[in-house]
Amino acid sequence: MDLRLDAGLRTRVLRVRALGRERMRPLGLEADRLGRPIPADHPFFAELVRLGLGRTRWSGEDAAEPGGFGARAVVVLAEEMAYWDRGVAVAFPGPGLGEAPLLSLGTAEQRERFLGPFRTPDRPRWGALAMTEPGAGSDVAGIRTAAHREAGGWVLSGAKSFAANASRADWIVVFATVDPGLGRDGHRAFVVERGAPGLGDFHVEHKMGLKAYESTSFTLRDCCVPDANLLGGESAYDRRAGFKGAMRSFNATRPAIAAMAVGMGRAALDESHAFARANGLLGRPRIRDRLANVRRRLRAARLLCWRAAQLADERRPNALEASMAKAVAPAAAFDAAMLGMEILGEVGGRGDSLVEKLFRDAKAMDIVEGTGQIQRIVMARQLVDLPRDREG
């Protein structure tokens, strides 16, 4: 057992730290003040691309899994990014959440077509993923966006909600169903490209927090998608195990989202500790006890994230551990921000402090990538064989 970071990762953390302090946090505060996402043509995004960011993890080789950049490195860096601003981190160019299904499910040709432009991007490019619908969030099996086969391709009809970066994306990985009665067995994943006929009605949602990136709803009206854009091709869906196995790779993202929560909680802890110190509140045991509780819970959450990520790195089952990290970290982060508001008191109530922004930002972490309740259901399946109400 050794919890040290290696030298390479340390250097990367330091780089993120400099970028975070100088650019991410000010930009996040500005977006929050203006109440709108950072525009896609903001020079910051071009600057990131020049720095070598906004790229795919995919090396270009015909391998389903990218090498090099392990889950633990992702978790450590995600925590540091979110410490400075989680909203800005999500707005970063890159293939985003669409990358994982492309890597695990996509054919070699699809990876080249859709991830290839992200290897050394010429300009800021985004990818996106759309699963959630107005009527189906946690209940993923309940999506209604319909996929119908036609000559040479597919026709998609439905509505999608809350997809990050969708209106600026080159493509969106859209989940649809060939038969809602089949639950997850009926699901198909398509890469819908920008400008596809029938893709439209983009609406950028107004959120409580995390305003720096766009959460976008859109509709698919008889949207035609060629056969070549069905992720993995027809054969990927013949055996349910294949699709399910591919979906399991999502277990690497849960620890990263949980780590982001740890970073946000850490920011709230640092801010409220500094405020308490500056205002002579640290002499009060009641304040100190609560700061120490938050610190301890965040520390435990960080260790849970690291453990789940190590299992992912070792290609060992981590459904229980990944969900545990995701169940624990957001609650710890939100409590950190809530405590921060209490310590700031009316200064927090003014609505113009970082702690107040974190209080609005942090709540989302218990909702995205599976709510805390969904994580507990996943854990209960592992721990007590909780049955599925419906095959999903």
Partner 1 sequence: MPDFTLSPDLVLLQETVRSFAAQELRPRERAAEAARGIDGGVASACETIGLARLELPESLGGAGLGALAGAIVREELGAGDAGAALALDPLGPVLYALRDFGGEDALRAFALPVLEAAGARAILVFDAMPRIHTEGRRAHGTLPWVPADRADLLVVLERERAYVLRDSIACEPVRGTGLRAAGASALRIEGSPVLAEWVSTPCARRTLAHARLHAAALLVGVMRQAAEFSRRYARDRVAFGRPIAHHQALAFLITDMAAAVDAARLLVWEAAWRLDSGLAADEACASAFVECAEASMFVAPNALQILGGHGFMQDHPVEKYLRDARALGLLLGGIDAARDDAERDLLGIAGPVDLGGDDPQGELHAASS
Closest approach, Cβ 89 to partner 1, in A, equals 16
DSSP state of 310: H
Query: Are residues 245 and 312 in contact, defined by beta-carbon separation less than 8 angstroms?
Result: no
CA dist 115 and 70 (Å) reads: 18
Closest approach, Cβ 65 to partner 1, in A, equals 17
CA dist 356 and 364 (Å) reads: 14
The answer to the question of residue 306 lying near partner 1 (CB under 8 A) is: yes
Of 229, 225, 228, 158, which Cα lies nearest the Cα of 197? 225
From 40-48, 230-238, 242-250, 317-325, give the range in contact with partner 1 by CB under 8 A.
317-325
Binder of partner 1 out of 86, 111, 302, 357 (CB under 8 A): 302
Name which of residues 257 to 286 contact partner 1 (CB under 8 A): 262, 266, 269-270, 273-274, 277, 282-283
Active site residue 369: yes
x/- letters, 324..353, toward partner 1 (CB under 8 A):
x--xx-------------------------
Cα 149 to Cα 43, 114, 182, 234: the distances in Å are: 42, 22, 16, 11
DSSP state of 279: T
DSSP state of 210: -
The answer to the question of residue 390 lying near partner 1 (CB under 8 A) is: no
Tokens standing for 127? 């990818």
Which of 40, 367 has the CB closer to partner 1?
367
Q: Which of 79, 99, 321, 369 is catalytic?
A: 369
DSSP 163-177: EETGGG-SEEEEEEE
Name which of residues 225 to 264 contact partner 1 (CB under 8 A): 262
Closest approach, Cβ 379 to partner 1, in A, equals 4
The answer to the question of residue 304 lying near partner 1 (CB under 8 A) is: yes
Residues in the chain: 392
The answer to the question of residue 108 lying near partner 1 (CB under 8 A) is: no
Q: Which residues fall within 8 angstroms of residue 154, CB to CB, at 6 or more apart?
A: 147, 148, 188, 190, 224, 225, 226, 227, 229, 230
Say how many C-beta atoms besides its own lie within 10 A of residue 73's C-beta: 18
Which of 84, 154 has the CB closer to partner 1?
84
The answer to the question of residue 194 lying near partner 1 (CB under 8 A) is: no
User: Would you tell me which residues interact with partner 1 (CB under 8 A)?
Assistant: 1-6, 9-10, 13-14, 17-18, 70, 72-73, 76, 80, 83, 262, 266, 269-270, 273-274, 277, 282-283, 288-289, 291-292, 295-304, 306-307, 309-310, 313, 320-321, 324, 327-328, 373, 376-377, 379-380, 383-387
* Catalytic site positions: 369
